[in-house]
């Protein structure tokens, strides 16, 4: 695969993630979309690392993956608690953040 194709793939993943984050109602779907966003960015990072031979960028991507795992764990735990407390799992029904 070429450099351009990889970058295009990463941008596509990112755009899909954005669409998901903004349009899906279920919070688990939101979390999944965020994963997609994240992986799109990670792919871009690795693409540049591969193209320029920058190992430090690759190690940054590794670190990012590790952080994502933790983030998903914490995010799911918060989601479970929210569902238990409010009985709602739809993002547009949770309005406690209103100013």
Partner 1 sequence: MKAFYLVLFAPFVSFALLALWPGLRRSGKPAAWTSIAAVAVSLLSAIALFFQYDGGVHEVRWVWIPLAHFPSLTVGFLVDGLSVVMALVVALVAFAVQVYSLGYMSEEPPASLGRYYTYHSLFTFSMLGLVFANNLLEAYIFWELVGACSYLLIGFWFYKPSAARAALKAFWTTRLGDVGFALGIAVLFAHFGFLSYDKLFALEPSHALFLGLLGVYVGAMGKSAQFPLHIWLPDAMEGPTPVSALIHAATMVAAGVFLMVRLMPALQHTPELLHLVLWIGAITAFLAATMALVERDIKRVLAFSTISQLGYMMAAVGALSAGAAFFHLFTHAFFKALLFLAAGSVIHAMHTNDMFAMGGLARPMRWTMILFLVGALALAGMPPLSGYFSKDEILVATAHAPVPFALLMITVFLTAFYMFRAFFLTFTGEPRNPESHPHESPVVMLWPMGVLAILAAVAGFFGSTVHEMLNHSLGFESLHSGEEHHPAWIPYLGLGLGLLGILVAWMGYARRIFRPERVYAAFYPLAKVLEERYFIDHIFLLLYWLGYNTVATVVGFVDRYIVDGVVNFVTWATFEVGKALRRFHNGVVQDILLGVVVGFLILAFFATGF
Helix (H, G, I), strand (E, B) or coil at 72: helix
Among 22, 55, 70, 85, binds partner 1 (CB under 8 A): 22
Compare residues 21 and 58 and give the one whose CB is closer to partner 1.
Answer: 21
Q: Which of residues 31-90 bind partner 1 (CB under 8 A)?
A: none
Annotate 66-95 with b (16+ C-beta within 10 A) or e (fewer).
eebeeeeeebeeebeeeeeeeeebeeeeee
Among 10, 14, 30, 40, binds partner 1 (CB under 8 A): 30
For residue 97, report the phi and psi dihedrals to the nearest 5 degrees.
-80, -5
Taking the complex as a whole, how short is the minimal distance between the CB of residue 88 and partner 1, in angstroms?
Answer: 12
State the residues that interact with partner 1 by CB under 8 A: 18, 21-23, 30, 91-92, 94-99
């Amino acid at each position: 695969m070429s450099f351009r194709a990889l970058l295009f793939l990463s941008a596509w993943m990112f755009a899909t993630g954005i669409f998901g984050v903004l349009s899906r109602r279920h919070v688990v779907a939101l979390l999944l979309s965020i994963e997609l966003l994240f992986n799109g960015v990670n792919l871009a990072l690795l693409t540049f690392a591969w193209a320029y031979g920058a190992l430090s960028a690759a190690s940054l991507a590794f670190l990012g993956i590790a952080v994502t795992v933790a983030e998903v764990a914490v995010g799911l735990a918060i989601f479970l608690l929210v569902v238990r407390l409010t009985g709602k799992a739809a993002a547009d029904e949770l309005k406690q953040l209103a100013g």
